[in-house]
Amino acid sequence: MEMMINPMDVYNWSYAVAKTIIHSSGGWAALRRLYYDIRHEDDPNTFLEVLARNIADLRFSGIDVAVKKELLNITSTDFRSIKAAILTGISAAFPPAERGAEVKQDE
User: How does pLDDT run across 64-98, given as a tens digit for each residue?
Assistant: 999 998 888 888 888 999 999 999 999 999 877 55
* 2, pLDDT greater than 50: yes
Q: Is residue 99 part of a domain?
A: no
* Range of the structural domain that residue 86 is part of: 7-94
What contacts 24+ positions apart, CB below 8 Å, involve 47-55?
47/74, 47/79, 47/83, 48/72, 48/74, 51/86, 55/17
SS3 24: coil
Q: Between these two residues, 40 and 101, which has the higher pLDDT value?
A: 40
Q: Is residue 104 part of a domain?
A: no
Rounded Cα gap, residues 103 and 37, in angstroms: 17
The count of structural domains within the chain is: 1
List pLDDT tens digits, range 14-41.
Answer: 999 999 999 998 888 899 999 999 999 9
SS3 67: coil
Rounded Cα gap, residues 85 and 5, in angstroms: 11
Q: Is residue 51 part of a domain?
A: yes
